[in-house]
């Protein structure tokens, strides 16, 4: 039956941060009260891609999913600083003066105090003095949590290997640069040393040198497994056909003079929407700018997101694999049309794509990966004083 559809509330305290969209609306409400010069300056900032929401229609925004990005911003220092300090040799510390220069690596705003950012998480970071020089370091509790995380990565490694194999099967040439996988390791739930461990799985992967791209190392698929070439939508179709049929809609343009009621329009759209195109087919064989090519690209994005830990990803993480997955610069328009399958949150400069069905009305994941549960526990400790 599946092949008929295809052709080939939060467990931890919420951080004290307001929604970026609400903040922009509050600033916009002040425009009539400001002098002309200040009004122009504020209006320019509000129209900046850094601030302007990717979803222009306020009625279509989902506050619960927007809050997920606000939470990420509140814990940015926690996620980046722990990863950076964990990569340093024991005792995992760095002089405070040097840490103040690494605002991008440590995730605190440029020009702000790194010690102030660390003070917000006193159970996880502290500022010991070494030879009278203050350092940024991990607390014993944080080091024990990182040990727990490493054991968790070890237990989940077979699952991650499976996800990377499926990702390679999505690509045109069954290969991905290792540097790209390392850059997106947090999104895919890969351990920090994944690049060094892929050679331990010769039956699944090969590591080659791409002499046409400055000699960078690429990860290649060792063998194709037909049992893995089944998308998440195909699996869901077996258990809930009606929901999957409602997920996508590739509408047929028709003039207003054509007398179609809602039921007739749905039947017409269903005729062009199905069958969908499996993301594991060779997209290079499809004619560009055809409905089949658009179905293929949308399906590839959906399958990529289903392989991520949180069923969501920032657009720059998705387009990290633009060449390998055959994506185009018109993906925003394609994704926005599929508002029953995806939700776009964030700003025009940095936006995120969610799989709608993976999240509940409260903005929480319906099925949580063990790594997600660990991060929630870490964030609970981060809010304690």
Separation CA 102–CA 104 (nearest Å): 5
Q: How many independent structural domains does the chain possess?
A: 2
pLDDT on residue 2: 43
Query: Are 230 and 353 within one domain?
Result: yes
The verdict on residue 10 lying in a domain is no
* Residue 258 and residue 179 share a domain: no
* pLDDT at residue 283 tops 70: yes
Task: Say whether pLDDT at 246 is over 60.
Answer: yes
> Is 286 part of any domain?
yes
- Residues 234 and 330 reside in one and the same domain: yes
Residue 385 predicted with pLDDT over 90? no
Cα 42 → chain centroid: 30
User: DSSP assignment of 127-195, as one string?
Assistant: --EETTEEEEEE-HHHHHHHHHHHHHHHHHHHHHHHHHHHHHHHSSSSEEEHHHHHHTHHHHT--TTHH
Question: Cα torsion for 351, 354, 356, 358, to the nearest 10°?
Answer: -160
For residue 13, the model assigns a pLDDT of: 43
Sorting pLDDT into bands at 50, 70 and 90, what band is 110?
A: confident
Q: pLDDT value at position 210? A: 84
Rounded alpha-carbon distances, angstroms, from residue 52 to 19, 58, 341: 13, 12, 23
Domain identity same for 265 and 242: yes
| Residues 204 and 234 grouped into a single domain | no
pTM, to two decimals: 0.84
- Is 71 domain-assigned? no
Residues 201 and 279 in one domain: no
Position 152 confidence tier, pLDDT thresholds 50, 70, 90: very high
Q: What is the CATH number of the domain that holds 174?
A: 3.90.1150
Q: Which DSSP letter does residue 219 get?
A: E
**Taking the CB of residue 166, how many other CB atoms lie within 10 A of it?**
22
Residue 292 lies in a domain: yes
Higher pLDDT, 13 or 276: 276
> Across the chain, where does the E strand assignment appear?
93-95, 125-126, 129-130, 133-138, 175-177, 205-210, 216-221, 312-314, 342-346, 351-355
Does the residue 162 lie in any domain? yes
Pair (265, 307) in one structural domain: yes
Query: Would you say residue 323 lies in a domain?
Result: yes
141/139 Cα distance (integer angstroms):
5
Dihedrals phi, psi of 174, to nearest 5 degrees? 55, 40
Q: CA 301, CA 295: separation in Å to the nearest integer? A: 10
Mean pLDDT, residues 105-126: 92
- Look at residue 169 and tell me whether its pLDDT is greater than 70: yes
Higher pLDDT among residues 49 and 86, named by residue: 86
**231 shares its domain with 353:** yes
What is the per-residue pLDDT for 216? Answer: 87
Domain enclosing residue 231, as ranges: 226-358
Tell which wins on pLDDT, 174 or 38. Answer: 174
pLDDT, average across residues 349-368: 93
Q: How crowded is residue 265: how many other Cβ atoms within 10 Å of its Cβ? A: 14
Q: What is the DSSP letter of 11?
A: S
Whether residue 221 has pLDDT greater than 90: yes
Considering only residues 329 and 23, tell me which one the structure prediction assigns the higher pLDDT: 329
Q: Do 265 and 353 belong to one domain?
A: yes
Is residue 8 predicted with pLDDT exceeding 50? no
Give the bridge partners for 359, in sequence order: 365
Q: Is 364 inside a domain boundary?
A: no
**One domain for residues 353 and 272:** yes
Residue 85 within any structural domain of the chain: no
Of 50-54, 78-82, 133-137, minimum mean pLDDT range: 50-54
Average pLDDT score over residue span 51-56: 81
Confidence band of 3 (pLDDT split at 50, 70, 90): very low
- Which three-class secondary structure state does DSSP give residue 124? coil
Residue 189 has pLDDT above 90, yes or no: yes
Which is more confident, 312 or 385? 312
pLDDT tens readout for residues 119-140: 999 999 999 999 999 999 999 9
Residue 14 predicted with pLDDT over 50: no
Q: Among 24-28, 47-51, 69-73, 377-381, which is the least confidently predicted range? A: 24-28
Same domain, 212 and 270: no
Q: Based on the domain organization, do 246 and 321 belong to the same domain?
A: yes
């Amino acid at each position: 039956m599946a092949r008929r559809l295809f052709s080939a509330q939060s467990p931890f305290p919420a951080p004290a941060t307001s929604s970026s969209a609400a903040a922009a609306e509050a600033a916009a409400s002040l425009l009539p009260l400001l002098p002309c010069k200040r009004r122009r300056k504020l209006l320019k900032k509000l129209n900046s891609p850094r601030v302007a929401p990717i979803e222009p229609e306020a009625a279509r925004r989902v506050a619960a999913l927007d809050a997920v990005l606000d939470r990420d911003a509140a814990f940015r220092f926690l996620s980046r600083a722990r990863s950076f300090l964990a990569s340093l040799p024991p005792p995992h510390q760095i002089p405070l003066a040097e840490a103040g220069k690494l605002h991008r690596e440590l995730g605190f705003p440029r020009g702000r105090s790194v010690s102030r950012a660390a003070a917000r998480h006193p159970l996880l970071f502290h500022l010991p003095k070494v030879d009278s020089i203050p350092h940024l370091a991990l607390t014993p509790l944080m080091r024990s949590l990182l040990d727990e995380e490493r054991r968790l990565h070890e237990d989940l490694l077979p699952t991650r290997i499976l996800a990377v194999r499926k990702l390679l099967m999505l690509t045109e040439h069954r290969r991905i640069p290792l540097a790209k996988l390392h850059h997106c390791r947090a999104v895919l739930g890969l351990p920090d040393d994944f690049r060094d461990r892929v050679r331990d799985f010769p039956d699944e992967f090969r590591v080659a040198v791409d002499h046409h791209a400055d000699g960078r190392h690429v990860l290649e698929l060792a063998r194709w497994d037909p049992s893995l070439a089944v998308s998440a939508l195909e699996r869901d179709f077996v258990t809930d056909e009606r929901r999957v049929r409602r997920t996508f809609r590739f509408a047929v343009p028709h003039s207003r003079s054509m007398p179609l009621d809602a039921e007739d329009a749905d039947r017409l759209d269903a005729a062009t929407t199905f069958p969908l195109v499996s993301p594991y087919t060779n997209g290079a064989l499809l004619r560009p700018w055809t409905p089949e090519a658009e179905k293929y690209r949308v399906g590839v994005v959906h399958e990529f997101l289903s392989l991520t830990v949180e069923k969501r990803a920032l657009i720059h993480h998705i387009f990290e694999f633009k060449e390998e997955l055959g994506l185009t610069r018109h993906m925003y328009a394609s994704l926005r049309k599929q508002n029953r399958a995806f939700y776009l949150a964030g700003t025009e400069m940095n936006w995120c794509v969610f799989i709608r069905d993976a999240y509940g009305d409260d903005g929480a994941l319906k099925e949580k990966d063990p790594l997600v549960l660990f991060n929630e526990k870490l964030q609970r400790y981060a809010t304690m004083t």
